[in-house]
Chains A and B, each alone.
Chain A
Amino acid sequence: MEDIILIGTGGMLLFALGVIVFVLIHQRRVIRYQLNLQKLRAEQQKLLLHATITSEEQERHRIADELHDEVGASLSAIRLYIWQLPTEAWPSDAAKKAAKGALDEVIAKVRRISHRLTPEMLMKFGLKDALQHTVQQLSDSGALLASFQSFGTIERLEPEKELATYRVVQELLANVVKHSGASEIMVNIQQKTRSLVVTVEDNGHGFTQQTFENLKSVPGGLGLKNIQSRLDILQANINFTIREPGRSGTLATLNVPATDTAAVPGV
């Protein structure tokens, strides 16, 4: 009897321990499986995002080429024909000058749009020069007072990363011009050991991180969604703060990891 009690009790305890160990091991396996599944889903989503942005960029490139090669060339040919028209063909000299002026303006606009769609400067000289050029253009437009500063030697990133970063800054600048009511804007770029930091500072109404988080999830707000998509691809982060508490102005800090952790397949 004593042996039965002893062996039985030991057996019951072993059974209970077995149940507990089984549950722990099984649950560990399930969680590991779910984590892998989540990882795969995230990777799939990222690939989908890459594909979307890649096709978007390719479409921009195609439109830019069409504008530059087809529309631009046609306009230049029209300009040439207009120059060749005899003076008698014009109702007045002023009309001739006005037509030429308007045509020149259209050609310049087409070129600007074409360049904006595929930033040649970025491809040739890198992010720093491309941003400087963009800020200069903004300043020249007279919309606001824009300035640019760079700190240290800015290393070149992978072309896809540079393009994604450029698009984010471009979107930030567009938002400042459209919505902030700012009169001044300053863009800084700084190379750090493990990251590239770009800041966009303005003296507008102010835009907080909370507003960014709220707006990017509401229908519409395509610009902010594009920013977020590109941040996801870059594995970068952005932080919006009010420049001085209690006062206006926004400081947007974009932090792009320098190492190629995102492994962007082509943006």
Chain B
Amino acid sequence: MRKQTESTQELDRRTAGGTPGLMTNPSFMRAFFDHVELIACISFLVPVIPGWVLIKRMSRTLRLLVIILSLMLLFAVGGYYTGTHYIPNLWIYFGGYVLTFYLFSVLFRRLLATPLAKWLTGSLMVLFGVFTALRIKDIITPGNFDSYTPAFLSIAMMAYCILYFNRQLGQPQITFIYKTPWFWVVTGLLLYYAGSFLILLTTDYLMLRDTVFTWGLWDLLDGLTIMRNLLIALGFAFYKNISWKTSF
């Protein structure tokens, strides 16, 4: 397991007030980065607002999705002001990942509702619990960021998304898949978690480096967040074409 080698004080100096490792030495690139991050935060509103507007017409699964997105919005926007992103409070940031994983697991369990999906989500939930318990010491250590947990989340989410597509291939085809809201939601999630997997896996390495390359990666992460949120919002735009009381 990768261990933090720098002192908490040093980390604080490098990361004060924002995403780990990127919030020092204001520059043009920093301004650009801040801008992208702000857009990424605001982009959560694109699916969240119509989600809450339409919530009464939605199935429980979709309501859960809106709730997850709202929590992610709170984590993203609130991070700055509550110090969630701040190195000593990284365990809260980590807690967000754990919560997100379990909520998405429940969501996909409900959405897919097949024995295979139940087995997979159940197994991953147990595995994740065990994995988290084993790493709890690293997680709660102030100034430490556990990269493996978000990486686990990414793999699990990719597995759920692929399982969804696999299920779709086996379903009797009535309408084109891209005319259904869940296609866009799952596409957004798959692209985001596939693109962010290696970045999240190496966050503890990257957060200690303040280079143009790492800024680019954080921008990429923000770009993926924006794309995911827009795709989910696009899915919500299809609510007129399909009964939202059904999962598919």
For residue B197, CB closer than 8 A to chain A, the reply is yes
Q: What 0/1 readout, one digit per residue, does chain A (1-44) give for beta carbons within 8 Å of chain B?
A: 11011001100110111011001101110110010000000000
For residue B177, CB closer than 8 A to chain A, the reply is yes
Given contacts A5-B217, A19-B162, A24-B178, whether A31 and B173 have CB atoms under 8 Å apart is: yes
Say how far B156's CB is from chain A's closest CB, in angstroms: 14
Bound complex: CA A27 to CA B195 (Å): 24
For residue B4, CB closer than 8 A to chain A, the reply is no
For residue B185, CB closer than 8 A to chain A, the reply is no
Contact of B173 among A4, A8, A9, A27 (CB under 8 A): A27
Contact, CB under 8 Å: A1 / B205? yes
Contact, CB under 8 Å: A27 / B198? no
Bound complex: CA A8 to CA B217 (Å): 12
For residue B238, CB closer than 8 A to chain A, the reply is no
B36 neighbours in A (Cβ, 8 Å): none
Top 3 A-B pairs, shortest CB-CB distance: A16-B194, A12-B194, A8-B198
Within 8 A of A (CB), among B189-203: 190-191, 194-199, 202
Contact, CB under 8 Å: B199 / A17? no
B53 neighbours in A (Cβ, 8 Å): none
| Chain B residues within 8 Å of A, Cβ to Cβ | 158, 161-162, 165, 168-169, 173, 176-178, 187, 190-191, 194-199, 202, 205-206, 213, 217, 220
B187 neighbours in A (Cβ, 8 Å): 20
Contact, CB under 8 Å: B169 / A23? yes
Chain B residue nearest to A20 (CB atoms) is B187
Say how far B191's CB is from chain A's closest CB, in angstroms: 5
Bound complex: CA A28 to CA B175 (Å): 10
Say how far B160's CB is from chain A's closest CB, in angstroms: 12
Contact, CB under 8 Å: A13 / B194? yes
Bound complex: CA A9 to CA B176 (Å): 29
Chain A residue nearest to B158 (CB atoms) is A16
B217 neighbours in A (Cβ, 8 Å): 5, 9
Say how far A209's CB is from chain B's closest CB, in angstroms: 26
Contact, CB under 8 Å: B169 / A26? yes
Chain B residue nearest to A2 (CB atoms) is B213
Chain B residue nearest to A33 (CB atoms) is B173
A30 neighbours in B (Cβ, 8 Å): 169, 173
Contact, CB under 8 Å: A17 / B191? yes
A31 neighbours in B (Cβ, 8 Å): 173, 176
Chain A residue nearest to B164 (CB atoms) is A23
Contact, CB under 8 Å: A16 / B198? no
Bound complex: CA A117 to CA B187 (Å): 64
Contact of B195 among A12, A20, A24 (CB under 8 A): A12
Bound complex: CA A259 to CA B199 (Å): 64
> Can you identify 7 A-B contacts, CB atoms within 8 angstroms?
A1-B205, A5-B202, A9-B199, A12-B197, A17-B191, A27-B173, A34-B173
In this complex, the member of A4, A17, A20, A30 whose beta carbon has the largest number of chain B beta carbons within 10 angstroms is A20
Bound complex: CA A9 to CA B190 (Å): 13
Within 8 A of B (CB), among A232-259: none
B165 neighbours in A (Cβ, 8 Å): 19-20, 23
Contact, CB under 8 Å: A23 / B191? no
Bound complex: CA A5 to CA B218 (Å): 12
Contact, CB under 8 Å: B198 / A12? yes
Chain A residue nearest to B206 (CB atoms) is A5
Bound complex: CA A40 to CA B162 (Å): 33
A8 neighbours in B (Cβ, 8 Å): 197-198
B197 neighbours in A (Cβ, 8 Å): 8-9, 12
Say how far A213's CB is from chain B's closest CB, in angstroms: 23
Contact, CB under 8 Å: A9 / B195? yes
Contact, CB under 8 Å: A19 / B199? no
Contact, CB under 8 Å: A20 / B168? no
B198 neighbours in A (Cβ, 8 Å): 4-5, 8-9, 12
Bound complex: CA A16 to CA B213 (Å): 23
Chain A residue nearest to B175 (CB atoms) is A31
Query: Given A1-B202, A16-B195, A27-B168, 16 more contacts at CB 8 Å?
Result: A4-B198, A5-B202, A5-B217, A9-B195, A9-B196, A13-B194, A15-B194, A16-B190, A17-B191, A20-B190, A23-B177, A27-B173, A27-B176, A28-B176, A31-B173, A31-B176
Contact, CB under 8 Å: A13 / B195? yes
Chain B residue nearest to A31 (CB atoms) is B173
B213 neighbours in A (Cβ, 8 Å): 2
